[in-house]
Amino acid sequence: MEAPMTHSESQAFRAAWAAACKVEASMMIIPSNYIFLVGPISFSGPYCQPNIVFQLDGTIIAPTSSKVWGKGLLQWLEFTKLRGITIQGKGVIDGRGSVWWQDAPFDDPVDDEIELIVPLNSTVEKNLSAPVRSQLGRIMPSIKPTALRFYGSFNVTVTGITIQSSPQCHLKFDNCMGVLVHDLSVSSPGDSPNTDGIHLQNSKDILIHSSNLACGDDCVSIQTGCSNIYIHNVNCGPGHGISIGSLGKDSTKACVSNITVRDITMQNTMNGVRIKTWQGGSGSVQGVLFSNIQVSEVQIPIVIDQYYCDKRTCKNQTSAVALSGINYERIRGTYTVKPVHFACSDSLPCLDVTLTAIQLKPQQEKYHMYDPFCWQTFGELRTPTIPPIDCLQIGKPSNNGVQSDHDIC
Ligand X SMILES: *[C@@H]1O[C@H](CO)[C@@H](O)[C@H](O)[C@H]1NC(C)=O
Interface residue with ligand X among 129, 258, 317, 359 (CB under 6 A) is: 258
Does 83 bind ligand X (CB under 6 A)? Our answer is yes
Paired sense of beta strands 117-119 and 34-37, if any:
antiparallel
386-392: long-range pairs with CB below 8 Å, 24+: 386/358, 386/359, 386/360, 386/361, 387/339, 387/360, 389/339, 389/340, 389/355, 389/358, 391/342, 392/342, 392/353, 392/355
Does 182 bind ligand X (CB under 6 A)? Our answer is no
Does 337 bind ligand X (CB under 6 A)? Our answer is no
Specify the stretch interacting with ligand X by CB under 6 A; choose among 126-134, 136-144, 237-245, 352-360. 126-134
Catalytic annotation on 209?
Answer: no
Computed from CA positions of residues 133, 142, 12, 59, in that sequence, does the dihedral angle turn out positive or negative?
positive
Q: 389 near 362, Cβ under 8 Å?
A: no
Task: Give the Cα separation of 402 and 114 in Å (integer).
Answer: 64
Paired sense of beta strands 83-88 and 154-159, if any:
parallel
**Best CA proximity match to 76, nearest among 201, 138, 154, 164:** 164
Count of other CB atoms within 10 angstroms of residue 367 = 8
Interface residue with ligand X among 121, 134, 383, 404 (CB under 6 A) is: 121
Minimum Å gap between C-beta 58 and ligand X is 11
Specify the stretch interacting with ligand X by CB under 6 A; choose among 39-47, 120-128, 240-248, 268-276. 120-128
Closer CB to ligand X, residue 46 or residue 395?
46
Minimum Å gap between C-beta 278 and ligand X is 13
Radius of gyration of the chain (CA): 22
Q: Is 394 exposed, middle or buried (0-12, 13-18, 19+ CB in 10 A)?
A: exposed
Interface residue with ligand X among 11, 88, 98, 127 (CB under 6 A) is: 127
Interface residue with ligand X among 142, 316, 398, 399 (CB under 6 A) is: 316
Interface characters, 185-224, with ligand X (x: CB under 6 A): ----------------------------------------
Closer CB to ligand X, residue 127 or residue 233?
127
Catalytic annotation on 240?
Answer: yes
Residues that bind ligand X (CB under 6 A): 33, 50, 83-84, 110, 119, 121, 123, 126-127, 132, 154-155, 178, 228, 230, 258, 260, 313, 316
Residues noted as catalytic: 217, 240
